[in-house]
Every structure is written in C-alpha cells, then in structure tokens.
Structure 1
C-alpha cells in the first residue's frame, strides 16, 4: 500500500490538448507518481471507468481575499472543479492597509465587488497591516483548494499616500519609490504579480472613483519595476473605454510591462452592439507580442452580465421611489404587495430617479438582452426569449413583462442581463476568440459580486455548452480541458499544475461528462453576519482531488482541507 490514491481506468485528458486515452493515475504525497497501467495497491481507489480524468482547473480571476480568511471552502469555485484560484484581481483587496484605513478598503470592496460592509466587518480579523502579513494570515488557514494572490493597486496606493491616494492625486517621486519597494516586497512574500483597474464603473460604495483610476504611466512603470526586482510576476489589468477605444491606457500598461519584462493579462469585453472594439484590442495584442511582449486577453466564455431579481442587489425597479416604499419588507410580504393591482400600477407608472451607489443598476433595463433564467440556465438564449421580445408577443410594455417575471417562483425568479459578449445575439465571437493562443479564459469573479453575479461556475459551462451541447463551434474535450488547466496555469506562472504528468501536483477531477449538469443559481445566507450571496452547484463531478486528497465526492464536500497558499511562481517539475 505504498500509494495514497489510484484513479483507475479513466479516460485521461492530460491538460495539454493531447488525445484522451484510458489509463490509471497514481498519487503519493500529493504528487502524481505514475500514469498508465498502475499495478501497486493504494489506500484509496477510485473507479473511473467511463469517466473523464482531468487536471484540476485554474481560475485566474477571483476575489476570495475575504472568503479565504473567513471560510474553509471557496465555493462556488471548488464545486466546479477549480483547485487553484488567483485572488487580488481588479486592483482591490485588503492589504496593505493601515489601521485607520480599514473603512476605506471596506467601502472600496463593497462598491467594486458588491460585498456587504457588515460581512467584511464581521468576517475579517484585520490581524495584518503589510501585504506579507496578509499572506501569512491566509497561509495559516486551512481550506479546500489552493489560493494565490496578486498585490492590488488601490490598497497599495492608499497605504503609501493616505487620503491623497484615495483622492486620486498624482504620486510624487517619493510615493513612486515606496510603491516600487513594496511591490518588490510583495513578490518576495509570494505574490504572483500585481493588479490594477481604470474601469469607470469600478466605484466605491459611496460613489467615488477607485484610487487607481487616474494612476499615471510613471506609477504603473514604478510598480512593474518593483515586481521585476522582486523576481517577476503577472500584471492583471481592467481597462476602460473612455474615448470608445482601448488606446491609450491599455498601451501604457503594455509598454510598462514590456520595459519591466513582465507578462500582462487584461479583461476583454465584447460589445453586444456598435463598433467591434475587441478587434482593436486584439490588434494591439498582436503588435505587442510581435515585438517580444507576453500579453493575453482574458475573456469570459459566456455573456458578461448581471443576475437580477427581487432577492438580489439589482433589478429593473430598484431605482424607483415607489418600489423603495416596500423595498425593506421581507420577500414574501414584498411579493404580496407587488401583486396588488394598485401597487403594480403605481410602480409601473413611476420613473427611475434614485441615484444608485453602483452604476450597474442603470443597466437593469436592457430589455433586449434580459432573459428569464430557468431551472436549467441557458446562457446563450434565443433572442425570442428576451424581455423585449416576450413583451411584444404579449402586447405589453417591457417593464410590465419584467415586473411579472420578477414575481415568478414567489419572487425567487432570477433573470440574466447579458450585457456583453453577446454580439449579434450569440456567442460566436467568443467561440472564435477563445481558440486563440493569445486569449485565456477567466473573469469568474468568485468571492465577489455576491448579490448580482454567479460566474465562477464557468468551467462547468465550458465542459457542457462548449464541449458537448452546442450545435456548432464546439470545442473538443481535450481543447476545453486545456483552456481550463495548463493555459491559465502558464499565464499565472504556475508550471507545477494544470496537467496530468508524473511529478506534477496531484490536483484532479473525475467527471461524468455525459451527465454533467449546471443548476440554476440560488440565494444563500451563509456569509459572516448572515450575509447573502448567490451559489451554484452542478451534477457530474464524481470526485475533485487537491494534493492527492478528495475534497468532494458526487457534489458533496468531504472533511478534507488540503488547500494551501501558493507563494510565488512555480517551475515545471524536472
């Protein structure tokens, strides 16, 4: 019994795009020791006959900075085969942070990532000030999957500059020198890189632009050089389109990273209508990579949008004063009120005049791209099912149709606002882009947007929609698994995982592909202080294994908590 675990007779999908084959995988001390026909005994054997055996999935874009402290499970991600999650994205997080600035970062995360302030106040012990101390706090916790971290720009700016940083004042030469030093220190403590954002809709809970919004090229360059001096790392960036184009802000980041010798991954949105700006962004990527840079566009494999409903953060009437008269009622009482004809008439006759703290609330009436989300959620819906189309078919206004659909399922109904990636009412552009070598999948946002997004289930969607169900443009299973494993692992600099080979970290999934099924998101109240969040589960994950330990069987978590903090980039095993 020299082996800890053997997965026998599964269809091995290696994570590199190789043709699947039937074989066994042997594991000892958290490492894959043998692949093929394994003859030795083991303490635990999984019969994978007729099932896929894949590497564990790597999610490049999460916000588990808080959840990794207050919870030992990083779900929904870990319920969808993810075994390594990279947090600290979008330039927001909880470190570095002085004692007097806790409220600043809580306001920042509440606004940008829709994490209720009371959840952070109750759930975070704030036993750290510096970024290395935060890493130590994460390292002390036991959890189901591995996490790695980026140094976030906005906390760094506030830590160095105080109120000047929060107010987006220009950094002085002394400020830049300190940011450079702290970036070097963060990498030496294990950060995989640095993240920043200039997205206009990234605002604090009180409505201000985030501290990094006006950061100069000199500031990005100083931080990049600090990363390089610490040993290197990835730059993650969220660009804005202030002038209807990705230039010049994206080019500044490309140029700074190239000078510092660092790779970049940036969020790429595909507009539903108008000029296809993604073409310009990809042309910039091609030019930069042709000159020796290492740039990847990070895209989401289904529509980018919002979950809207009466029990969520946003819905089409959330800015109506007449709705606010009943907004604080318990859901059942609110639904009863909304079903009264006089209340219905009053709300539908009203106008959205309340100023939101989150500008995304303005997008909750995108009727052509809003769709009811059924028990088996369809993320590439027929345009005939949009609220606008359904209203035309009924002979009512889109607001009336949306009002009635919100009351379905006793007010628990959820609708999808497909605000991006749905060009020409389809995912065809996504299909084209995700096959490119300079594109990587991500943007799942696990651990954030608790009341308006539930996108960390995207690995299951890739395996079902893109690698099994779609009528055209399907991915082979080996290509789909590669895009969930070795490709993001390489972007993150984690060469020790993302593939099934001897010497690699024993993170695996055993999957019943034919019966893999994604469930509808549901609202749960399991955050600190009873906070609300969306959760989503799936059928078909027979086992998920982290470092050789089974953390979930048939969709049910086990007691195993082998997840660690990954400190620093990892080279491939010899």
Structure 2
C-alpha cells in the first residue's frame, strides 16, 4: 500500500521534459512510481485533476539564519511551494560566535538584511552554539515545514578569528588567514553547504561599517578556496562589488565587476567548487554590462571554472506603506506623535488637513544609525513619482501610466502629496513599489538572463528585509508571470520548473531531490496553475518582540509535500514538520 497516491495530474517532472498526464506514488518519503495510470491502494489519495504536479522548489538565496530559532513554519517560503532553502548568504550569519559578541552579529544582520534587532535578540537561542558545527547540531535537533541548508558566512568567520580587527576590515595576517581557512573547512566538513561573502560597500552593519570581508585581499579568499578544495564540497556564494551600482554616496566601490568576476573565476579553479554570484542590471553602468558578465562566465566555464550567475525572476522592489518604511517616518511630528500608535489611530490623525500640511512641510530628522534601513525614507521622498501602486493580484507589467506620478499629474497634484493620501487608503493598508522605471524593459532583460545556460534563479531574500522587500514569492510569480500571464513571449512551463527545482538542487549537490523520479525524495507540489495568484503585501505583527513583517498572500497550492508528508493543503499550514537540516 502506498502512503500517498497523486492521481490525474499533469506531471512537470523537473528534468526539462514536456509535461505529461499521469499519477505519482509515494512510500516512506520517496517516489516509488511515476507516470501513467497507477493502480493500487493508498493511505491517502490526492486528486490532481486540472493541476500540475512538480518537484518542490529549491530556494538558494534566503536569510532564515535567525528565524530557524523561533519559527518552524518557515514562512514565506513554505507558502510558496519551497521545500528546501539555503541560508547564510551575503556574508552574514550567526556562527561562529564568541560568547559576548552576539550584539555585533545582530547589528550586522540588522543593517544588511533589515531583520529587526529586537527580534534577533529575543527570538534566538543564544548560548546554544559557538562554532558552526554547534550551530548545525542545534538545527539538527529542530523540525521545520521544509529542509534547511546553511552556509558559513565570511562576516562571522572574520569576527570570530580576528576579533575587532576583523569586524572593522583590517588586513588579515597569515595566521588570521590560516585560522579562517580552518574554521571554514571545519564547518563544511560538518555539513555547511557553502561559504558566502559580500564585497559591496552597500552592505553595512547598523552603525555603518561594511560587512567584515568586504575589502579582503584576494589571498584571503584564495586561501579559503584551497581549504574547500581539500574538503571537496560546498559552494562559494558572493555579492560582488558593483552589484547594486557605483555607490558614490558611500565613498564608491573599490573595484569593478570585471575584476570581481576574475577573482571568482580564480576561486572556482583553485577550489574546484561551484561559485554563484548576484547578477542584476545596474543603472550606474553600461546597460549591457550584464551581458558582458554572462559572456565572461561562459568563457570561464569553457576553461574549467564552475560559475553560476544568480538572477531574479522579477525586478526587486522596495515597498512603502504605513506598516513599512515611508517618506514621512522621519518627520519630527510623526516621530513624536504618531510612530508608536496603532495603524487605525495613525490613519485617523494623518487624515486631518493640519497634520497633512505639517508632515509635508517639516524637514526630516536623520536616523541615529547610519546603516539602518530607515534611511530609505529619503529615497521614497525623491522617487514618489515613479512608484507603482500594488493591487490584487499584483500586476508585474505596469507601465509609466500606472505610476503614482502619472496619477498625480492627471489630477494636477504633486507626487509626494499624492503618495501621502494613497498610503491612507483602505485603512492605511495600501503599498506601493519602487523598482525600476521601465518594468517591461527590465522584464525583457530578465528573460534573457533566465534563458542563459549558466544562470540559476534566486535572490528571493526570503526571511530578510521584512518591511522593505517582499520577494519570497518569487518562486510563485516565476510560474504565474513567465508561463501564464506575460503579455510578450512566455517561457515554457517545463523550463521554469527545471530552473527552480533540479537546476538549483544540482548547484548545491542536493542529488536526492529536484525531480519527480523513482527513488528521489517526495518533495512535491500540486498546483492549480490556472488560478495561482499572488496578492499585494499584508502586514503581520508576529516576529519576536512584536516585530512586523510583510508577506504576500498566495493561493493555488493544492498541496505541498516535504519528504512525503503534506505540509500545506489548499494554501493552509497542516502543522506537519517533516523538514530537517540538510548537510553537504
């Protein structure tokens, strides 16, 4: 008798093969039969008529490093068909950690990934680990709705090995480098799935210091590459300098994307390990620079490197609204009279004409912490005209005519004043997105990136930027937009499914998952593809210490199975927790 039999579905098996009708049978957490009509008794049968059946998604760019301590559901990833996540990206993490140095790692994560420090202080089981193997063992004793893989982060390694010198980016001595190499090797031997670093000055701790390792000498990274070569496993993940622009306001990046690419090429050749790195189109450089990086990658891989640019499936957008960061949050009157009040009270107070006049006229007060994400208020002030309002379901192809600026102009109003009133709509629950001026053009760029043979999909940042970015739904919108809703040329369903299942699983050596094949783990999605929907963000006040996070409601997942157990059914959590730590 089978444990679960999925009947009458359209199988999109993750291999890139065309969809076919058929059944799928599961026993003891494994796929035991797939395809055609499967007869036989089952403890449970799931009717997939009219639905697609796919592997569970593998999201390789998340930041659940703190959330694994207080949450077992692992939302928003678990809401979006994800059955395996990789965290510890961007050079920030929480192990190793010397006793008494937790505060510095929290402030680093808060500055870079915008996870509230209070939630990290109160929600994490500090004292339960020191070394990275300790951290892995801690997670191995916990249960989740999905599997979790962890990378060891350069920022934590440098601070642990060098103390304050490492934290403030002093040059490492030969002894420092040797110590870091040993720490990374020990972590990967124990099961870390990779090592990550950030090289952009845009990634800063709460008080403005760049991530430890931002300016590390090539020799430091290549010594770690040599240690990874000895261990023979693990992925190197990097945020290159220049990824998000020249950043002249912060002093300017110290090197170029081309030189960073050459460093990653040498790292891959020295280590024999895959390298994955963020690739986006930046307005600060030649608009075709990303094509040059893809060409350089193809040449490097032809010469023996293993380089995999990590690209997004939609433009990354900054969200603004009264439950998030916004243009008026640093006005003295807002800080003194409104900031701590419930949403309904704030909306009522802000509707008063005299309050509106005051908030529009007052100068801003800069946040005390230069690395705080609160500083985005200034960007929202300047860019109100090019923000896009979000409605249900979210339109991923808005035009300039849809911007708040265009709507304001049609009424003869100023964009910032129009934004003020917009944020008060629907009881203060509306959100607008600041992403790119020409969204359709950016989508064309992303299409070309996705089709490149060497790229992988990622950059959801799930678990991070909890009141600024809501891209944990990328695995879902990747399906809805590229295979169903796009007005222009779409991408084949089987291509997108392969890209975010088998392709990502293979990058991290997760050979037991990613496809619907006999013997593979039963990580499976049953999806009502025709009705799969992602709505505008909703604020949830459920983080430790009462912190807020934004999540987009998703509907259309008939069932998600992790290791053969149904974790979500009809878009609701079942309470089952079959997910575990996955080691390299």
State the TM-score, normalizing by the size of structure 2. 0.93
Cα distance in 2 for residues equivalent to 1:419 and 1:132: 41
Given candidates 528, 536, 543, the residue that maps to 1:520 is 536
Cα distance in 1 for residues equivalent to 2:575 and 2:366: 46
Deviation of the 1:274 alpha carbon: 5.9
Partner in structure 2 of residue 54 of structure 1: 54
Deviation of the 1:318 alpha carbon: 3.0
Cα distance in 1 for residues equivalent to 2:283 and 2:403: 14
Asked whether the 8 Å contact 1:183–1:230 carries over to 2, the reply is no
Partner in structure 2 of residue 571 of structure 1: none
Secondary structure class of the residue paired with 1:100: coil
Given candidates 277, 282, 285, the residue that maps to 1:271 is 282
Deviations 1:255-310 (A, max 9, x none): 12222211111111123576213223223212322221111111111111211111
Cα distance in 1 for residues equivalent to 2:23 and 2:62: 32
Partner in structure 1 of residue 84 of structure 2: 84
Mean CA deviation greater in 237-246 or 374-383: 237-246
Partner in structure 2 of residue 557 of structure 1: 573
Deviation of the 1:107 alpha carbon: 0.6
Q: Does 1:305 align with 2:317?
A: yes
Q: How many residues align?
A: 565
Secondary structure class of the residue paired with 1:91: coil
Cα distance in 1 for residues equivalent to 2:342 and 2:527: 40
Partner in structure 2 of residue 8 of structure 1: 7
Deviation of the 1:63 alpha carbon: 0.6
Asked whether the 8 Å contact 1:69–1:137 carries over to 2, the reply is no
Partner in structure 2 of residue 154 of structure 1: 155
Partner in structure 2 of residue 318 of structure 1: 329
Name the CA shift for 1:279/1:353 in 2 (closer, same or farther; >3 Å).
Answer: farther
Partner in structure 1 of residue 139 of structure 2: 138
Partner in structure 1 of residue 267 of structure 2: 256
Secondary structure class of the residue paired with 1:147: strand
Secondary structure class of the residue paired with 2:9: strand
Name the CA shift for 1:448/1:335 in 2 (closer, same or farther; >3 Å).
Answer: same
Cα distance in 2 for residues equivalent to 1:218 and 1:318: 44
Partner in structure 2 of residue 19 of structure 1: 18
Deviations 1:481-534 (A, max 9, x none): 111111111112212111011111110000111111112211111122222111
Partner in structure 1 of residue 95 of structure 2: 95
Asked whether the 8 Å contact 2:146–2:580 carries over to 1, the reply is yes
Deviation of the 1:245 alpha carbon: 4.3
Correspondence list, 1:175-574, <5 A: 175-241=176-242, 242=253, 245-271=256-282, 275-276=286-287, 277-312=289-324, 314-325=325-336, 326-352=338-364, 354-355=366-367, 356=370, 357-358=372-373, 359-364=375-380, 365-419=382-436, 425-568=441-584
Name the CA shift for 1:281/1:321 in 2 (closer, same or farther; >3 Å).
Answer: farther
Cα distance in 2 for residues equivalent to 1:231 and 1:38: 41
Cα distance in 1 for residues equivalent to 2:528 and 2:86: 26
Deviations 1:187-209 (A, max 9, x none): 11111111111222211112221
Deviations 1:113-148 (A, max 9, x none): 111111111111120000000000111101110010
Asked whether the 8 Å contact 2:9–2:47 carries over to 1, the reply is yes
Cα distance in 2 for residues equivalent to 1:403 and 1:78: 34
Deviations 1:352-386 (A, max 9, x none): 45255235444323235411111211232121111
**Which consecutive segments of 4 or more residues in structure 1 shift more than 6 A?**
none
Deviation of the 1:391 alpha carbon: 2.2
Where does the alignment leave 5 or more consecutive residues of structure 2 unmatched? Answer: 243-252
Mean CA deviation greater in 94-103 or 210-219: 210-219
State the TM-score, normalizing by the size of structure 1. 0.95
Asked whether the 8 Å contact 2:12–2:20 carries over to 1, the reply is yes
Deviation of the 1:425 alpha carbon: 4.7
Asked whether the 8 Å contact 2:360–2:417 carries over to 1, the reply is yes
Asked whether the 8 Å contact 1:273–1:424 carries over to 2, the reply is no
Secondary structure class of the residue paired with 1:432: helix
Name the CA shift for 1:43/1:424 in 2 (closer, same or farther; >3 Å).
Answer: closer
Asked whether the 8 Å contact 1:85–1:147 carries over to 2, the reply is yes
Cα distance in 2 for residues equivalent to 1:271 and 1:14: 35
Asked whether the 8 Å contact 1:308–1:452 carries over to 2, the reply is yes
Deviation of the 1:5 alpha carbon: 1.1
Q: Does 1:121 align with 2:138?
A: no
Deviation of the 1:424 alpha carbon: 6.5
Cα distance in 2 for residues equivalent to 1:45 and 1:255: 51
Secondary structure class of the residue paired with 1:97: coil
Asked whether the 8 Å contact 2:397–2:440 carries over to 1, the reply is no
Deviation of the 1:232 alpha carbon: 2.0
Cα distance in 2 for residues equivalent to 1:452 and 1:332: 21
Secondary structure class of the residue paired with 2:258: coil
Name the CA shift for 1:423/1:239 in 2 (closer, same or farther; >3 Å).
Answer: farther
Secondary structure class of the residue paired with 1:90: coil
Secondary structure class of the residue paired with 2:101: helix
Where does the alignment leave 5 or more consecutive residues of structure 1 unmatched? Answer: 569-574
Cα distance in 2 for residues equivalent to 1:361 and 1:251: 36
Name the CA shift for 1:272/1:469 in 2 (closer, same or farther; >3 Å).
Answer: farther
Asked whether the 8 Å contact 2:229–2:271 carries over to 1, the reply is yes
Name the CA shift for 1:475/1:367 in 2 (closer, same or farther; >3 Å).
Answer: same
Asked whether the 8 Å contact 2:99–2:130 carries over to 1, the reply is yes
Name the CA shift for 1:96/1:419 in 2 (closer, same or farther; >3 Å).
Answer: farther
Name the CA shift for 1:361/1:212 in 2 (closer, same or farther; >3 Å).
Answer: farther
Mean CA deviation greater in 549-558 or 243-252: 243-252
Cα distance in 2 for residues equivalent to 1:401 and 1:361: 16
Cα distance in 2 for residues equivalent to 1:410 and 1:458: 27
